[in-house]
Structure formats: structure tokens, C-alpha cells
Chains A and B, each alone.
Chain A
Amino acid sequence: MRQALEGSQAIAQAVALCRPQVVAAYPITPQTHIVENLARLVADGKLGCELVSVESEFSAASVALGAACAGSRAYTASASQGILLMSEVLYNIAGLRVPLVLTCANRALSAPLSIWNDQQDSMAVRDAGWIQLYCADNQEAVDITIQAFRIAERCELPVMVCVDGFTLTHTLEPLELPSQEIVDRFLPPYRFSRGLDPLAPLSMGTLVAPEYFTEARHLHHEALLAARQEVEAAAADWAAACGREQAPLVRVDGPPEATIGMLTLGSVFGTLLDARDQFGGPPVKLLHLGCFRPFPTEALRAACTGLEHLIVLERAISPGADGIVGAEVRSALMELDHPPRVHNFAAGLGGRDVPLAIYPRLLDAIGKPHPRMSAIDLRPELLPDKAHAAGEAP
């Protein structure tokens, strides 16, 4: 049924459709509405699960970990400082290869304090060993949340579903929620092959000496790489179940003969789609990197073959280096016979609006000299030395 729902409400309902048995969370803007909606569903008797309202994000992730190991489907959600606070647990969950799902309502990291959207938080834990999926809109947030449970449980890996804070979580959109029957058919009941069972006791999380550690890490790496197939399979099966096309690894929109590409993650993709319609100009292929971990190297290369220029627009930076996504995209495309020139820009940091007008600016930038990485929406007049020059207070 098509309905207008706030992103958080839609995500909460999607989570509820997956019948989690344990939900643990700690409130942080802009994740709060997701958990509030889940609490409401529990209070109204529409979701039968153990809702554990913990005393920190650190415990939220830990409760979810314990629950998943003890044989229950577990879910948590967080953002920003919360993701950083739970980062030690996130690495641990992944290293233990525990299937669970976390929604990251993407938000900037302090300092300076900002409650608004960028993607520095999930990028900060990109090496934790989780599957990381980014949603372009709230319909995708619903669809990917449901797929995330199946991917997690089939791969025995945790999945982080990233949705732009406010831009998606607090925005009403018309979208389709699937029926319980469809979700039940798609997502079998949770079973964890290495769960804690007094009848077949296992020791999990043991001390591993150097003679075995490399092999454990190797297997984790291999498991992530192999997860690409499960991400694609889940998308194909979900598309068949719900009737909506899914674009699991890299979504490509635009003429195949285009020589200019623009790649982004998250809700900015929709902005670029609209802007291209509005501004026209040369043919441009728009790419959405929906799956950041595992990194879809082959799919990305295929999507970029024939491009002369690829603009990578991201909402996080690695100060003192290049853009995080930009560096990875450059590295993945290096082995093409004719790799496109990568133009790497950040935009929308700390919630700065990314307007349609960014599209012609990005196209203009192709022909001009620019640093390997810069914020394209920087306002130089706000920098202290410029302010000084203008005789203003710093």
C-alpha cells in the first residue's frame, strides 16, 4: 500500500516486519524517531520483542551482540557520536561474525558540534568489517532494511544500513510498505549456526595467538568479499517478492554513451537526478554506490567503462588525505585500460544544504584546475583570514 510516511517511521515499520526479537538502543539525534516508533509499536502490542532501552550506545551494541549470540534476531540504531562510542563493539561484532542489523542515521561528528547530516560517522567505521549499505531514498531504506536481515543472517556478518539524518529520517515521502506475508516469505526465522546453546556449548571470542590471527582476519576479509553475492541475491529475490526494481551494488542512471559520470552515496543521488532533469547539459551518467562494504570493484569498473571524467561527491573527508570514497574509487578504477579522471569533492558537510545548483558547478569544475579533494560548497568569505581581510571580527 502506497502511503506517506516519515523516513524513521517507515524504517521502524520495516524493522518490525522483520520480527526482531531483541531491539536495543540509546537515543541520539537524528536516530531517535526510529527507536521511538519501535517503542510505540511495542507499546501498542504490534511488535512482540524485548525492547532494551540501555544506558549508552556502547551497551546498545553489546546487548544486540549478546542477543544475537543467544539465538535471537537483534536490531539497533544509532548515529554520529553514538556510532563512535560503539565502535569498539562494532569491530567485535564483526570479528565474531555475528549477524545483526544497525541503522545509522548519518550525522556529522564533533567537534565542532553538529547534529546535522553528513556521513563521517559511518565512514569512520568503514574498516570495522561490517557490510555497509547506503540508501538513496526512503523507499530504499525500507527495502534495504528488510534485505539487510537476510544478508546478515546468510553471511553471518553484521549489516549497517546508512540513511542520511534528517534528509531521509525526518522527511515524509510516499512509499510502499510490503505486507507481513511477503516479508515472512522472504526472511526465514533467525537461526545462528554458532549460537550459545547449553546442549552444544561453544566458546566464542577466544584469545588467538599470532599463529592463527592472520587466518582469522583473512577469513573475515573473504567473507566480506563473498557477501557481494548475497547482497545481489537478496536484491534479486526482494525485487521478485515486492515488484520493485532493486539496484544492489552500484545503481547507474544515464545514457551508456555518456563520458561524464557523477558518483555519490545517499540522498544526494536524488538531488543529482532532479538537477540533471532541470539543467540538462551534456549526457551524464549518475552512479549511486549503494554498497560501500564490500566494495563493489567489478560493478564499479563496469559502470565507469567509457567515462572520461568521474566526479565523486561525498559527505565526509579524511583530513590530510583525499576523500574517503574518492580514494577508493580512484584505486578501483586504476586498472581500467582508460580510467576516467576522478574529480573528488565534498559537499553537504554538517548538514549544509546540497542544492540542485550544485550540478552545474560540478560540471564546470571538470574543466578547471582544482585540488585532489576539496569542499565544493566552501564559502571562502567565512574563513577567518578572509573575515580579517574584510575588517570583520574573526
Chain B
Amino acid sequence: MTTRTLLDLRLNQPRFQGMEAGHRACQGCGQALAARLVLEATGPDVVVANATGCLEVFTTAWPDSAWRVAWLHSLFENTAAVAAGMEAALKAQGRNTKVLAFAGDGGTFDIGFQALSGMLERGHNVLFVCFDNEAYMNTGVQRSGSTPHAAATTTSPAGVARMGKRHLKKDILSIIAAHHIPYAATASVAYPADLRKKVRRGLQVDGPSFLQIHSPCPLGWAHGSELSIEVARLAVQTGLFPLIELERGALTGAMHIRQIRPVTEYLKLQGRFRHLFTDDPRAREELAHLQALADHNIEIYDLLGNSPEALDTEGADTVRRGGLHSA
């Protein structure tokens, strides 16, 4: 067999589908795509602790299940602790099966945070994946600690007296980084090869790892379901959702932005920011504020850096400028 044929085989190998088709997610659901991508990278030798939320609900309406991996949903706020228990058990049994924890931003930033912090502090060998869709989508789009500033949700609506959420999106990654865990990163469904690479990296390290995946919600963000990937990509290309990697709390990688887009390109696609595109002077102020947040990210993470990194925001999966091909 020639080398060429081997390579073809490898590239055309069907990926492991840990989460099957037939689940009940909305069209264009970023979380469903993200979960599928994560399991493509992990393979079948995993056990999953899944928090209450959309992912749990749309995959497991009894007696159906979309999961082809060993999977447990316990509660909303205890996912990291359940995963820690699984890991302790597997360790006691001398097994190398990897433990994954899946939670939304509510189950990570807010109600599940204490258990997550405890799990990280104790150093369990768990990959915690946060599917960040920036609000409580399962209960009908209520604001969470992850909802961006000025976004409208059902509990932070825009009206005469308010311009959407009045508080900043919690910088969860910095808080995670403060635990000095071996590996923490952000990823986006718009960059699947980068996402899979980070999942594999998270599983390689000894100790806890954390992956925050930006996962658009067409229903909650009020954009067309065909726009999920475009919206996710613009979040990265504007600097609002930087794709970075941290090891022991120190920045070790950032996906560079070759061409910075203004935040308005990202915001204008989404109904949750519609109130920012009016003549209201407060809207202009909020837009300027959001642009400043993006500019700040670009500066602190050096997102314009001219490194030899092969992948960038203009097409990390398709453009190969020589060197490393990580997909």
C-alpha cells in the first residue's frame, strides 16, 4: 500500500460519533455541534458527567438517547463533583478511562462554580467542557454570569430604561487560570480543528483541564440558524471571544487575528443586540464600550502577534501556510 493511500484512508476515516444524529436540538445549535466535535476528539474510552441543561434534555428524552458513550446526568450544579467521583473511582480501580464533564455557562460560571473550583483545586484528572452560549437557554434565555454586557435576555431585556444586561461577562478563564491547572483554553465551533486539538491537549495533561467553547444559540441570540458558524467566527475575529491557551495559568497560545473586524459586524447579526443599532445615544455608548472590550482582549492576549502559528482566524482549518497541520 502506498503512502498516499494510507493518508487517504486516514483522512477519510469516519470520525467517532459519540453523540448521534436524531437528538432534538434546534437547527443550528452550537452546543450540539460542539459536543459532537469534543467526542470526535476523545474517542469512545470516556465517561461523561453532564449538567442539567439543553444538552442533557435534547439528547436523552427517555427511552431514547443520542449518546454512544457512558453518560450520566445527575444535577445542574454538581457536574464537576460527579466527574471528580468518577475519576476517583477509576483511579481506585486502576483504569485509564478519561472523565469528561459537560456543562453550560450557567452550570460553569454560576450555579456549578463552587463544585468546579473544588474539583480543580483537588487536581482531579477531568476535562471540564463549558458549552458557553451566554445565557440560560434551556429555561428560556435568562441572563447568566456569562451573558455579555448589553445583551438582551428575558431577564435583562432592553427597554426605555435599560440597554440589556448591565454587567460584564464574567472572565471565567482568568478565574480558572488562578487555580493554576495544567491546561485551560477557549475554543469555538467555528474552528473545529482547533477545538479538537484543544480537547486532545486537555486529555493529554495529567490533572484537571478546562475548555470553554463558544457555542451560538440561534434561538437565544436571535440570529438565523444558518448563521451560527458565521456568528461564532466573527466573535473570534472581532476579539470579543479570543481563542487562547493557558498552562499553569500562563498564556501559551493565542489564535491570531489576521484581519480584525469591528464588533458591529458581530453584533448586528444578532437580535439580542438589536437595541444597540438605534439613534439612542446610549446605544452608541454601549457599542463603543463593547469595541473597547474587544480592543482590550486584542491587546492583553496579543492577538495581532506575528507568530509562526499555522492557524489563524481567517481559516484555521483550510489555510495551511506550511509547517504544522494540527487538524
Q: Which residue of A lies closest to B124 (CB)?
A: A52
B171 to chain A, nearest CB (A): 21
CA distance A200 to B97 in the complex (A): 13
Contact A196 B47, CB 8 Å, known A66-B72, A70-B86:
yes
The reply to whether the CB of B118 lies closer than 8 angstroms to some CB of chain A is yes
Q: Which of B63, B70, B93 contacts A202 (CB 8 A)?
A: B70
A66-B70 contact in complex given A198-B46, A206-B60, C-beta closer than 8 Å: no
CB contacts under 8 Å to B, within A9-61, are: 21-22, 24, 49-50, 52-56, 58-59, 61
A203 contacts B93, CB within 8 Å? no
Nearest-neighbor residue (CB-CB) of B24 within chain A: A207
B225 vs chain A, min Cβ distance (A): 23
Query: Which chain B residue has the least Cβ–Cβ distance from A95?
Result: B74
A55: contacting residue among B50, B72, B73, B114, CB under 8 A: B114
Bitwise interface map of A from 199 to 214 toward B, beta carbon under 8 Å scored 1, else 0: 0111111111100100
Taken together as a complex, chains A and B put the C-alpha atoms of A89 and B63 apart, in Å, by 23
Residues of B within 8 A of A202 (CB): 70-71
Q: Among the listed B59, B62, B85, B91, which residue makes an inter-chain contact with A63, where contact means beta carbons less than 8 Å apart?
A: B85
Tell me whether B89 and A71 are in contact (CB under 8 A). Answer: yes
Say yes or no: is A62 at the interface (Cβ < 8 Å to chain B): yes
Contacts of B114 in A (CB 8 A): 55-56, 58-59
**Chain B positions within 8 Å of A58 at CB level:** 77-78, 81, 114-115
Contact A206 B115 (CB under 8 A): no
Partner of B93, one of A53, A72, A92, A209: A72
B69 proximal to A (CB < 8 A): yes
Check B118 against A59 for contact (C-beta < 8 Å). yes
* A 259-296 to B, binary, CB cutoff 8 A, 1 in contact else 0: 00000000000000000000000000000000000000
Interface contact A203-B88, CB-CB below 8 Å? no
Decide: B72 and A204 in contact? CB cutoff 8 A: yes
Contacts of B49 in A (CB 8 A): 66
For residue A183, CB closer than 8 A to chain B, the reply is no
A88 at the interface (CB under 8 A from B): yes
- B258 interface hit (Cβ, 8 Å): no
Interchain CB contact under 8 A, A66 and B86: yes
A176-209 at interface with B (beta carbon < 8 Å)? 196-198, 200-209
Q: Which residues of A contact B73 (CB under 8 A)?
A: 203-206
Q: Which residues of A contact B86 (CB under 8 A)?
A: 66-67, 69-70, 196
The answer on a CB contact under 8 Å between A65 and B122 is no
Query: Across the interface, do A66 and B118 meet the contact criterion of CB distance under 8 Å?
Result: no
- Tell whether, in the assembled complex, residue A205 and residue B65 are in contact, meaning their CB atoms are under 8 Å apart: no
A61 contact set on B, CB distance < 8 A: 78
Bound Cα distance A189, B87 (Å)? 19
Contact, CB under 8 Å: A201 / B118: no
Identify which of A65, A197, A200 gathers the most chain B CB atoms within 10 Å of its CB. Answer: A65
B25 lies within 8 A of chain A by Cβ? no
Q: Which residues of A contact B84 (CB under 8 A)?
A: 52, 54, 59, 62-63, 66
B71–A201 touching, CB < 8 Å: yes
B67 at the interface (CB under 8 A from A): yes
A129→B60 CA distance, assembly (Å): 23
Which residues of chain B are near A71, meaning CB under 8 Å?
89-90, 93
B68 contacts A201, C-beta separation under 8 Å: yes
Q: How far is the CA of A68 from the CA of B67 in the complex (A)?
A: 20
Task: Kindly list chain A residues whose C-beta atoms are within 8 Å of the C-beta of B67.
Answer: 201, 203
From 72 to 115 in chain B, residues with beta carbon under 8 angstroms from any chain A beta carbon are: 72-75, 77-78, 80-93, 97, 114-115
Is the CB of B117 closer than 8 A to any CB of chain A?
A: yes
Contact call A22/B89, Cβ cutoff below 8 A:
yes
Is B304's beta carbon under 8 Å from chain A? no
Q: Which residues of A contact B81 (CB under 8 A)?
A: 54, 58-59, 62-63, 66
In the assembled complex, the Cα of A72 lies from the Cα of B91 at a distance in Å of 10
| Cross-interface CB contact of B92 among A21, A63, A65, A197, cutoff 8 Å | A21
Q: Does B230 contact A (CB under 8 A)?
A: no
Contact A74 B89 (CB under 8 A): yes
Chain A's closest residue to B63 (CB) is A212
Q: Is A235 engaged at the interface, CB distance under 8 Å to the other chain?
A: no
Query: Which 4 residue pairs are nearest across A and B when measured between Cβ atoms?
Result: A66-B85, A55-B118, A62-B81, A72-B89
CB within 8 Å of B: which residues of A?
21-22, 24, 49-50, 52-56, 58-59, 61-72, 74, 88-89, 92, 96, 196-198, 200-209, 212
Q: 22 A-B contacts, Cβ less than 8 Å apart?
A: A54-B81, A54-B84, A54-B122, A59-B118, A62-B81, A63-B82, A63-B85, A66-B49, A66-B72, A66-B88, A67-B89, A67-B92, A72-B92, A89-B75, A196-B86, A202-B70, A204-B72, A205-B72, A206-B60, A206-B73, A207-B56, A207-B60
